[in-house]
Structure 1
């Protein structure tokens, strides 16, 4: 961005008129967000620490700072960390990350 003598990059995350919940989640070392169904579309933005995520019966995938993980409404998923994790969690029926982010599908 070149406005106001600035020098940074901003990635758009969300633009919505729909109800949206945004939270910050912190897991201590050995922490887990247990296996559960997403009540709405959900985006996990990792801002500190490594973790592993899985959905349905898929095997775990390692994620780290700068990664974004998207789960669709109703999708079963889990997040856990050995060393600690902080992430921003966005939940909204209007989430469609393909509008704003490059998508990389991770499957075994």
Structure 2
């Protein structure tokens, strides 16, 4: 058995797009998929930018807010996954901090595996 760590201490600081968070890379497959762990500290942000490929953000701990092209934020909690299509503008922010796994690949279809959450207010 081998045990690996993807905690905050193993992350790289990211400042691109006016962002302020740490990214811990986990794996990249031959199938052109990228999986990483993002550690946003207090008042952390993944700045507003376009998705280069389809992206799935899985909230692991903490809580925060996400938005797409419309500047209306939706609160997210652990156990929720947010999906953005290629080219879609988006942003993630948090007041108290959050940790999330990000999966990026040209061939993501989360609806095949997870039910949609009802976001009607």
Q: TM-score, normalised by structure 2?
A: 0.72
CA-to-aligned-CA distance 1:33-71 (integer Å, 9 cap, x gap): 000000000000000100000000140000011010000
Gap runs ≥5 in structure 1 = 1-15
Larger radius of gyration: 1
Shift in Å at residue 106 of structure 1? 3.5
Question: Could you say which structure has the greater relative contact order, defined with CA pairs below 8 angstroms and 6 or more residues apart?
Answer: 1
| Counterpart position of 1:62 | 75
Shift in Å at residue 107 of structure 1? 6.4
- Give the structure with the higher percent strand: 2
**1:27 and 2:40 equivalent?**
yes
Between the aligned partners of 1:102 and 1:17, the Cα distance in structure 2 is: 28
Question: How many residues are aligned here?
Answer: 93
RMSD of aligned Cα (Å): 1.8
Aligned partners of 1:36 and 1:78 also within 8 Å: yes
